[in-house]
Structure 1
Amino acid sequence: MVLIISIGLNNVHNFCSWATDTLTKLYIQLIDG
Structure 2
Amino acid sequence: MLRALESNGIFEKLIILNVTTNLIGKSNGKKKEIH
TM-score by length of 1: 0.74
TM-score by length of 2: 0.71
Q: CA RMSD in A?
A: 0.5
Instruction: Tell me how many residue pairs correspond in the alignment.
Output: 27
Q: Give the greater-gyration-radius structure (CA).
A: 2
Gaps of at least 5 residues in structure 2 are 1-8
4+ residue stretches of structure 1 with deviation over 2 A?
A: none
